[in-house]
Amino acid sequence: MSSIILETMLVIFIYFLCFFIVGTLIKNNSIVDIGWGLGFVIVAWFTTLRTANFYLPNVIVTVLITIWGLRLFYHIIKRNLGKKEDFRYANWRKEWGKLVIPRAFLQVYMLQGVFMFIVALPIILLNNEPFSNLTLIGVVGIIIWIIGFYFESVGDYQLKIFKANPENKGKIMDQGLWSYTRHPNYFGEATMWWGLGIISFFSGSSILVFLSPITITYLLLFVSGVPMLEKSFANRPGYKEYAEKTPVFFPWFPKKD
């Protein structure tokens, strides 16, 4: 295993250890969500500067991750600042009882660190290569990333505007991108990582880079993304009708009544 990979693991460990200490002191483990996007920016710049691989694909991937990570960091910190612990982490706190500190360390912070390392493979492995070259398929990967970024950022913005209107309190968001998929932001995030995987692989990286989009897609579709929100919205008035006409993940035209 190369030194850059081991060093990146150490950086991620220290990063989430800091969040664990703060989260434990303020009794709010949902702050780990704030660190998700920013952590990738740190990993991207650390590996880029550490290896000094300033070839075009390396620079492009680093810039794209920076744009995505900083936007997500700003979006989540603005949304969560001053609020109580997210319901997911609050429920775990009750379930874990006296073991909340060690279980949070392992199952919240360190587990996210493991996932961050796997998902960040497109930039880590790309920077681990002595040379990279942008190909035509790599350009296609950039376009795929742009599509994903559009769905995530615009979807988040549309939801923010919808919630800001007092008349929409208790209503289901079914407008804009939300009329084509029930989770445009999740679809967008998965799509972005597929784009980054394509850029990295066709620029000279190992096929292992595709562990990144496979992992994030699986997590969003079957673990911590879609299932949790679908369960929390299941009993809301109008959600059943919305779910019947709107695709759960992959965007498509809504079914007519």
Considering the chain, what is the average pLDDT of its residues?
A: 93
Judge whether residue 86 has pLDDT over 70.
Answer: yes
pLDDT tens-place string over residues 139-150: 999 999 999 999
Mean pLDDT of the 72-96 span? 88
Q: How confident is the model at residue 34 (pLDDT cuts 50, 70, 90)?
A: very high
What does the pLDDT read at residue 68?
97
Q: Residue 60: left if φ>0, alpha if ψ -120 to 50, beta else—which one?
A: alpha
pLDDT digits (tens, 9 = 90+) for 89-131: 888 999 999 999 999 999 999 999 999 999 999 999 999 998 9
Is pLDDT larger for residue 155 or for residue 233? 155
Instruction: Please check the confidence at residue 85 and state whether its pLDDT lies above 90.
Output: no
Q: Exposed (0-12), middle (13-18) or buried (19+): which is 39, by Cβ within 10 Å?
A: buried
